[in-house]
Amino acid sequence: MPDLKQLEERLGHQFGRPELLSEALTHRSVLHESSPKQSPLPKPTLDNQRLEFFGDAVLQLALTEVVFEHFPEADEGELTKMRARFANRHMLCRLGGALSLGDYLRLGKGEESSGGRSRPSNLADAFEAVVGAIYLDGGFAAARRFVLAQLHPELDQLNAGPDEDNPKGRLQEMIQEHCGKNPVYRIASQTGPDHAKHFEAVVELEGRELGRGAGRNKKEAEMQAAEAALANYSAGKATE
Please list the active-site residues. 56, 128
214 pairs with which residues across the strands? 200
Sign of CA dihedral 41, 45, 50, 54: negative
Q: How many CA atoms lie within 13 A of 152 on its CB side?
A: 4
Task: Tell me how far apart the alpha carbons of residues 91 and 104 are, in angstroms, rounded to a whole number.
Answer: 19
Q: What's the rounded Cα separation, in Å, for the pair 224 and 215?
A: 7
Nearest to residue 136, comparing CAs of 5, 9, 3, 19?
A: 19
* CA distances, 28 to each of 134, 196, 223 (Å): 20, 59, 43
